[in-house]
Amino acid sequence: MTAERLGFRLACPHDKAPLTEDAAGLHCAACGALYPVVAGVPVLIDDTSSVFTVADFARSGGYAGASYGRDADGASGARRLYHRLARWLGDAPSSLHHPDAAEVLAWRAAQGPPPRVLVVGSGGITLGGPGDRVLQTDVAFGPGVHVIADAHDLPFEPAAFDLVIAVAVLEHVVDPERCVAEIHRVLAPGGHVYAVTPFLQPVHMGAHDFTRFTPIGHRRLFRHFDEVAAGVALGMGSVLAFTFGAALLSVSQARAWRLPARFLALLATPLLRRLDGVLRHGADAAGGCWFLGERRGGAPISDRALVASYHTGFRQCPGSLPPRKALNPSPPASPPPAAPEPAASGSTWHA
Ligand SMILES: [Zn+2]
């Protein structure tokens, strides 16, 4: 198993007890559960609580309902060409920079020994190089997925990781609070979390799209973490692109309308996304939020402190929540101090 090769110990998702492997799969001595290993990928789903079942993965070799579907594009000819063009247009970069998972990994790696990294909901991406200790999990098989795991019940012992990454994941879980508590549990003291979560975006992935977060709602979700840096992930131009497309599609259900409407919306996307960087003070109507936090050991940040910080923290976003400044510190010789950052940086969450 790749997980073992990377040096990660797997635990029962139900009770976090250690697992033993034999030809049938991975056994939990504590609860008696048997978890299959499908094509080298352990399926560590808690059948008693997850919306997914172990059988979803074992029966047909893969549950595809919540996958991103990019590698499963079975179209051919003109349709395949259209799909590729649509992806290229739809993935047009925002003119508002925010750190991606690779930048955060490099930032964390610069601070000390190679970090143990958990990617929750890795989708089709592969993070890190051969020297990195990155374990990728998802609820769908994919080229980079090492373990099938549900974020509500992570199959790892406490303090097993130094960095957890969850990009475009927390809108797809039934209970984000529980998932973030699990992330907190598997992080070692001094560990970091990096999350990107939508705010104003239409539903995607249907029945597996449960919620959205305002900027302060997102910050509160991580109230057991100190903020290192945070900001807007997609700006108001991206929101315009989303809603323009949704409005066009809502005119008619007829296929003769929806195809050209979808294409027109895609054509407008690169142009509208260029507005993200122009409309720099639109955090209150952003497409999404990103948050980089350090695990707190004691009590969470109080709601009163969070609300007080809103007035200094978000009004100027993203200008006052600099993504690059905080992500390029010189590697500290000792753990960074827990003192509040100056108000000018906008990071007043520690107050
Ligand atoms: Zn168990």
What is the Å distance from ligand 1's center to 22 Cα? 16
Per-residue pLDDT at 19 exceeds 70: yes
* Residue 67 confidence (pLDDT) above 70: no
Q: What's the pLDDT at 311?
A: 66
User: 238 is written with which tokens?
Assistant: 């991206």
Is residue 64's pLDDT more than 60? no
**If you measure from the C-alpha of residue 34 to the centroid of ligand 1, how many angstroms do you get, rounded to a whole number?**
9
Most confident of 124-138, 153-167, 318-332: 153-167
| Coil/strand/helix, residue 59 | helix
CA of 20 to the centre of ligand 1 (A): 11
> What residues contact 203, with CB distance under 8 A and at least 6 apart?
209
Band (228; pLDDT cuts 50, 70, 90): confident
Q: At CB < 8 A and 24+ separation, what contacts does 176-181 make?
A: 176/210, 176/211, 176/213, 176/221, 177/221, 178/152, 179/120, 179/151, 179/152, 180/221, 180/222, 180/224, 181/224
What is the share, in percent, of the chain residues with pLDDT greater than 90? 55
- If you measure from the C-alpha of residue 198 to the centroid of ligand 1, how many angstroms do you get, rounded to a whole number? 33
Extract the tokens encoding 122.
């890795």
The C-alpha torsion from 166 through 171 and 174 to 176, rounded to 10°, is 50
Give pTM, 2 decimals.
0.85
Tell me the CA–centroid distance for residue 11 and ligand 1, in Å. Answer: 8
Q: What separation in Å is there between the alpha carbon of 25 and the centre of ligand 1?
A: 13
38-52 residue pLDDT tens: 988 999 999 999 999
Cα–Cα distance, 169 to 175 (Å, whole number): 11
Q: Express each pLDDT in 258-297 by its tens digit.
A: 989 999 999 999 999 999 988 877 888 889 999 999 999 9
Residue 154 pLDDT class (50, 70, 90 cuts): very high
- Mean of pLDDT values over 301-308: 91
Residue 149 alpha carbon to ligand 1 centre in Å: 14
Q: What is the mean pLDDT of residues 68-85?
A: 69
- Residue 310 near residue 349 (C-beta atoms within 8 A): no
Instruction: Give the pLDDT score at 336.
Output: 41
pLDDT category at 62 given cuts 50, 70, 90 is low
Of residues 143 and 32, more confidently modeled: 32
Helix runs in the chain, H state only: 2-5, 54-60, 77-90, 101-109, 176-186, 215-221, 236-249, 255-273, 303-313, 323-327
In the chain, DSSP assigns E strands to 19-22, 25-28, 34-35, 37-38, 41-44, 116-120, 133-138, 147-149, 161-167, 187-198, 225-234, 288-295
Q: Provide mean pLDDT across the span 141-151.
A: 91
And the tokens for 67? 């996958």
| Distance (Å) from CA 247 to ligand 1 centroid | 48
Q: How many residues does the chain have?
A: 351
| C-alpha 140 – ligand 1 centre gap (Å) | 22
User: Given a cut of 80, is residue 334 above it in pLDDT?
Assistant: no
Q: Which of 133, 143, 198 is nearest to 164 (CA)?
A: 133
Q: What is the mean pLDDT of residues 312-338?
A: 44
CA 30 to ligand 1 center in whole angstroms: 5
DSSP designation for 86: H
Compute, in angstroms, the gap from residue 18 CA to the centroid of ligand 1: 8
Task: Report every protein residue that has its C-beta within 5 angstroms of ion ligand 1.
Answer: 12, 14-15, 17, 28, 30-31, 33
Mean pLDDT of 122-140: 90
pLDDT of 242 above 70: yes
Q: How far is the CA of 161 from the centre of ligand 1 (A)?
A: 21
Q: Under the phi-then-psi rule, with left for phi > 0, alpha for psi from -120 to 50, and beta for the rest, what region is 208? A: alpha
